[in-house]
Structure 1
Amino acid sequence: MVPTSEGSLDTVLPDLPPGPLQACRARASFSWRELALFLEGEDLLRFKHTVFRALESDPLFAHPPGGALSLERYRELTFLRCRRLLELDLLRLEDMAGSPLKALALIGCLGMYDWSLGTKFFLNVLIRDPKTLLPVPGVMTGDIGRKLGQNGLDNGFAMFHKVWVPRQNLLNRTGDVTPEGAYVTPFKVRPLRRVWGAPPGMETHAAGQQGCLSVSLYRWAPRVRDTHLSPTQHTGPERGRPGLARTPKRRAGAAEGPSPQRQGAARAEWTSACHCPLASPVPLAAYEWLVCYLLRESHQKLRQERRARGSDFEARNNCQVSCCRPLALAFLELTVLRRFHQLVHGPGVPPSLRAVLGRLCALYGFWSLSQHSALLYRGGYFSGEQAGQAIESAVLDLCAQLKDDAVALVDVIAPPDFILNSPIARADGELYKNLWAAVLQESQVLERPAWWAEFATNKPVVGCLKPKL
């Protein structure tokens, strides 16, 4: 039976356990319960509490003590847990369409417990005999073995040899087969990409070169960060324009780039804000200018590469590293900051929460913007030392202002201790006590090794294997 979350909100958001963190929570400038209720809503909080209680009260979801499970046992346990989730029916299929936030919350709750319980995809083709589970003739299936993570999912491969598959059953999002039997795809088929430095004759991907170099930079220069490739590495500059073009005026600015008048006004706005920059409109204006600037640079770079290379594919690859990737990241961060700013300054924010949310929004804006300082200087938005120092000072000042609220902010979004399953991150703050208890629960932690006699009685004789002559 699924536990319900009826009753007062104190049941859904119970008092946190006493411990060393009590003094930190007492210094918070807001109520963590009030912020959690504002962000999630009572209905969603009750649903998540129901999911958490269902997992914690079922012995099948108990965390196994002492050591990691074998790969086979882990996958078996994941299968049994998935079956139990279907039996619990925490969110009916017909309710998902009407409650998309609950569907996302369910995935989040299960993911915080174990990402292996996430979504599974099934091939819409009969590849195993339903009675014996052996592959049908013409089909070879296998397991890919242990992975870096999510080993509860039995990912594998399937190979087909002269197997008839109805066309309507094909997974044809990125490729299809025509009724005449021809394979078609919207992507241009290219030769296999080679690692930078291989002999000539095969294609080299510009972003791949940077990816190889980023490994070395990460090892030798710990301060270099965020050098991994963006998921939008094949996105051209035109893809960012529709989201930016909110109005005809902004559409023109995005296509032409920041004008000298706008650039001078923006620089003056930043310079005047350097004296008191602890507000989200300051980084928001800088981000809007940055996106326009990168959009113009990406467009110009793409045109230059097309003229020089004569290939649209090569042109997009070469302009993504220095132009389109920063554009994609800046546009995503601008969208997050703009929506955060709109939330903070919206009419529905309780007065007691407006201050802390405003500081959080400003801190996110300045901290994210600091990653683009080089581009802001290159484009002329920043000049002199004062602009860069203003960002650093703003981040430090906002961190100092939010220091007393840090623990309460974590309490708002933290899952229950059972779901988190971390001895050093429990809500009571008893780090060393909980860590010591976890160590003692490990298997055979206080016993001698099985080969102790080999060490105690059969001691090595130094030099006994040396020749005597």
Structure 2
Amino acid sequence: MGRHLLVNNETLWPFAACAGDDIPALNVLLVKQLPHPCINAMPDKRTIDELIPDMPVGPIDKYRKSATFDWKQMKMFLEGEDCIRYQNEIWDLLEKDPLFARSVGTVSVNEMRMLVFQRVKRLSEYYFLTQEKLLENPMVYLWFFSAIGLYDWALPTKFLLSTQFFGGTIRSSGSKHHLDLADQSDRMELIGSFSLTELSHGSNVKNMRTTATFDPETKDFILNTPDIEATKIWMGNVGKTATHSIVYAQLYTADGKCHGLHMFVVQIRDTKTLLPLPGIMVGDIGHKLGLNGLDNGFLMFNNVRIPRQSLLNKTGDVTSAGKYTTPFLDPEKKFGASLGTLSGGRVGIVSVCAGNLKICVPIAIRYSAARKQFGPTNDKEIPVLEYQLQQWRLIPYLAAMYAIEIFSKQFMKYYLELNIGTLLKSDAVYLAELGKELHAVACSSKPLTSWLARDAIQECREACGGHGYLSVSRFGEIRGDNDANTTYEGDNNVILQQTSNYLLICRENKQNGVQITAPMKTVNFLNDADTILKWKFQATTAVQCYDAAIALAAYKWLVCYQLKESADKLNKESSSGKDGFEARNDSQAYFARSLALMFIEHTVLQWFYDCVNDPAVPPGLAPVLKKLCALYGLWSLEKHMATLYQGGYMSGRDPARLIREAIVQLCRILKDDAVALVDVIAPRDFILNSALGKADGEIYKNIFSSIMKTPKVMERPDWWREFCNKPVQDSLRGKL
């Protein structure tokens, strides 16, 4: 193997790439034994000051001095010494490397893709992901992904597509004779890709139409794209750089029988010339709304012969005589195993969206603290952060940023537990239940976080006024890059159905006398659904709503109520004579879809609540964290007010009034802490890369400086002669 410890794509877990002798070392790394990922020990003050430099002096010092907590202590508590040291090491190297210097002005798509390729190659030379680091702490993988992604999400995507999705899949799903390709991918002697989606099929994976037919005479597979609709499309790296791809195709034996979707590792370009191999049509799909540093492409095969050994044969194989064999008796289990390679993408997207919140919210908060407009008198302007509307627009997203940051780390911890346990062949029953629950959470957390980041970016952009529309604000870049997250790894509205299906099954099992005992405990409260449905809203003052337990209780009732409503709706549709497909389809809007979103919002709030109420939280940090938790809960809950009243949890005018009063009051209270709270989460200026959001708060100097660095900023246009030498023709005067 190369020096990189690559992530096993089936489990998104790097230890699958370890040699056999390394496996016993993992017994001490079961994730259950790791501390909470957002609760870290405090080193001495000297160490903290060494790792976390002071913020520069500037126009927003007033807010930093008004903070009710020590921001450095908060950063150390949430991220930990090891994470901060590791990410500082990465960012120090990138900031000193001329290859990673930030460009000024517009860069063409071709230049962008060349830069991303060169930077990915440099990342492979820095050896940030080593076996030693990953064996020491499994969370290093997340730290790396975040540190590089906050600079440019195209970088970790391109890097990990080749190493993780390509090399990792080969290691997890192939045999020994495939490993050389994975090793070459480690060394970047080839660039790998992953080809599943087709022009006419995305979410409906079973109906992919590319075929691989075994020829017993030549002992080859014939790989074919039957028509244009079966064109493989959207694959990262395929547009310009991939030399190899893992291709999903329907496997046919000579008797004409289809054995379902299987994976084949296929060379698509010459590694010396990057020209396509005979029978293969491959190209770039063109400019996208974002992430243009990643070359997404299309791929077609015209009866291309590939060796029998190209089949990644863990889930099924074909003998030299043409007989199909598989260790799975159940076709559904075989299908699920072959698609296990995709299960980590949604977990990754949650982390990406958490990262995008850590970019947009700090920019808008710092800008609002520095930007002064109007005031109580004509000669005194005040920062726009002092206005209630600005607080109401931005500070709930600040609370959401903390909620999602804590959730994403905890979620990754459970994901690592599943994958390490699978690798070590731990308790199969426990892992099966954990896998089901994790899948349900992934299918709802991706929609929640990608929509939340989408809305936060837009609100932050608008809250920064006209200056927010400048490219140097960075809002346009992250808006375009984030937008893909709402669709990648499944359309949000489609995959939410997986979560609601899981919840409906849990309810059915409970009604049949089966106790709900999920490993992550996200649904365990449903055992008490009958009691919870009798609860009523308890707060009588807005101040009582400052306790997140008020919102948490409302969410528990909300999920129980919506689950019953969805089950009743599904039964009603089924009783009317509709088949299962039609009944489920007609039970989505206002029922199952809403249920899935309420469930994941409850889960995020519950994990946030558990974290901030942990006894290990330092006393100086607990008050502000609890206010953030309460604000996030109330703000999320408010949009479900109609259902809370419809079901009888609330009545009269007071509950809605109290919740809204509490939201506004918490925004005002947290206003003085807002700048310090984003200082905790925001990356350094070089990574944040926003003229509006630099830590010094010198927004006007930074904006003007960025404008003056624009190429040809004060030159007349190249087409100036058109203005000077082309007057409007006399015949057109008076007609315009």
Which one of the candidate residues 364, 370, 374 is aligned to 2:638? 370
Q: Deviations over 1:144-188 (max 9, x none)?
A: 01111111111101111222456775689999999669xx8769x
| Alignment of 1:254 onto 2:395 | no
**SS of aligned partner of 1:463:** helix
Task: Return the alpha-carbon distance in structure 1 between the equivalents of residues 642 and 732 of structure 2.
Answer: 65
Shift of 1:435: 0.4
Shift of 1:272: 4.3
Deviation sequence 1:297-334 (CA, Å, 0-9, x none): 11111222223353222222221222111111111111
2:266 corresponds to = 125
Does structure 1 conserve the Cα–Cα contact (< 8 Å) formed by 2:570 and 2:587? yes
Q: What is the aligned partner in structure 2 of residue 70 from structure 1?
A: 108
Please tell me whether residue 148 in structure 1 is matched to residue 148 in structure 2. no
Q: Match of 2:478?
A: none
User: Does structure 1 residue 306 correspond to structure 2 residue 574?
Assistant: yes
Q: AA paired with 1:71? A: V
Deviation at 1:434, TM superposition (A): 0.5
Q: In the alignment, which residue of structure 1 is the partner of 2:154?
A: 116
**Alignment-derived partner of residue 278 in structure 2:** 137
Amino acid at match of 1:233: L
1:448 matches 2:711: no
**CA displacement 1:362-393 (0-9 Å, x = unmatched):** 01111111111111111111111111111101
| 2:222 matched residue in structure 1 | none
Contact in 2 for aligned 1:236/1:320 (Cα 8 Å): no
Match in the other structure for 1:212: none
Question: How far apart in 2 are the matches of 1:232 and 1:42?
Answer: 37
Taking structure 1 as reference, are residues 165 and 370 closer, same or farther at Cα in structure 2, changes over 3 Å only?
A: farther
Are positions 1:233 and 2:505 aligned together? no
Q: Are 2:268 and 2:277, in contact at CA under 8 Å, matched by a contact in 1?
A: yes
In the alignment, is residue 106 of structure 1 matched against residue 247 of structure 2? no
- How far apart in 1 are the matches of 2:649 and 2:732? 75
Q: Deviation digits for residues 384-433 of structure 1, max 9, x if unmatched?
A: 11111111011011111111000000000001111111101100111111
- Specify the alignment match of 2:383 in structure 1: none
Q: Which residue of 1 aligns with 2:298?
A: 157
Change (3 A) 1:174 1:283: farther
2:94 partner letter:
L
Q: Give the secondary-structure state (helix, strand or coil) at the position aligned to 2:139.
A: helix
Q: How much has 1:133 moved relative to structure 2?
A: 2.0
Cα offset for 1:230? 3.4
Q: Does 29-38 or 333-342 show the bigger shift?
A: 333-342
CA distance in 1, matches of 2:669, 2:69: 13
| Higher strand fraction (1 or 2) | 2
Q: Which amino acid aligns with 1:361?
A: C
Question: Which residue pairs with 1:203 in the alignment?
Answer: none
Counterpart contact for 1:256–1:296, Cα < 8 Å: no
Counterpart residue type for residue 555 of structure 2: Y
Q: Alpha carbons of 1:424 and 1:129: their partners in 2 closer, same or farther (altered >3 Å)?
A: same
Equivalent AA in structure 2 for residue 78 of structure 1: V
1:294 lines up with 2:435 in the alignment: no
**What do the CA deviations read for 1:433-464 (whole angstroms, capped 9, x no partner)?**
10000000001110111222332244224335
Q: Tell me the secondary structure at the aligned position of residue 348 of structure 1.
A: coil
Contact 1:24–1:404 (8 Å) recurs in 2: yes
Give per-residue Cα distances to partners, 1:220-271, cap 9 Å, x unaligned: xx9xxx9x95363332634136599459xx9898379545xx444x21x524
Are 1:329 and 2:597 counterparts? yes
Instruction: Please report how far the alpha carbon of residue 350 of structure 1 lies from its aligned counterpart in structure 2 after TM superposition.
Output: 0.4
Structure 2 residue 610 is matched with structure 1 residue 342? yes
2:627 alignment counterpart: 359
Confirm or deny: 8 A CA contact 1:254 1:295 kept in the other structure. Answer: no
Conserved? CA contact 2:601–2:636, under 8 Å: yes
The structure with higher relative contact order (CA 8 Å, sep 6+) is 1
Give, in whole Å, the separation in 1 of the partners of 2:710 and 2:81: 39
* Superposition deviation, residue 466 in structure 1: 9.5
Alpha-carbon offset, residue 73 of structure 1:
1.1
Aligned residue pair count: 417
Give unpaired runs (5+ residues) of structure 1: 1-6, 188-217
Matched, 1:390 2:658: yes
The residue aligned with 1:37 is 76
Asked if residue 420 in structure 1 is aligned to residue 420 in structure 2, the reply is no
RMSD value over aligned CA atoms? Answer: 3.4
Question: Residues 269-307 of structure 1, C-alpha deviation per residue, up to 9 Å, x if partnerless?
Answer: 524466622101100101111111111111111222223
Q: What amino acid maps onto 1:157 in structure 2?
A: F
| Equivalence for 2:379 | none
Worse overlay, 155-164 or 32-41 = 155-164
Q: Which has the larger radius of gyration?
A: 1
The verdict on how the C-alpha distance between 1:311 and 1:464 changes in structure 2, with shifts beyond 3 A counting, is closer
Kept after mapping to 1: 8 A contact 2:542/2:658:
yes
Q: Find the counterpart in structure 2 of residue 192 from structure 1.
A: none
Q: Tell me, in whole angstroms, the C-alpha distance in 1 between the residues paired with 2:528 and 2:574.
A: 19
2: CA distance between counterparts of 1:281 and 1:108? 31
Does 2:127 match 1:89? yes
Measure the CA separation in 2 of the matches of 1:276 and 1:234. 35
Q: 1:340 to 1:275 in 2, by over 3 A?
A: closer
Q: CA deviation at 1:105?
A: 1.4
Instruction: Calculate the TM-score normalised by the size of structure 2.
Output: 0.52
Distance 1:252 1:436, change over 3 A: closer
Distance 1:101 1:253 in 2: 29
Q: How does 1:396-411 map to 2 (within 5 A)?
A: 396-411=664-679
Equivalent position of 1:23 in the other structure: 62
Contact between 1:32 and 1:409, CA under 8 Å: does it hold in 2? yes
Aligned AA for 1:153?
L
The correspondence for 1:433, drawn from 696, 701, 712, is 701
Q: Distance in 2 between matches of 1:35 and 1:358?
A: 13
- Structure 2 match to 1:195: none
* 8 Å Cα contact 1:255/1:296 also seen in 2: no
Aligned amino acid, residue 351 of structure 1: P
Q: Distance in 1 between matches of 2:138 and 2:549?
A: 31
What is the CA-CA distance between 1:74 and the residue it aligns to?
A: 0.8
Query: Which amino acid counterpart does residue 232 of structure 1 have in structure 2?
Result: I
CA distance in 2, matches of 1:334, 1:242: 16
Identity of matched residues, %: 43
Give the aligned partner of residue 47 of structure 1: 86
Counterpart of 2:293, as a letter, is G
SS of residue paired to 2:692: helix
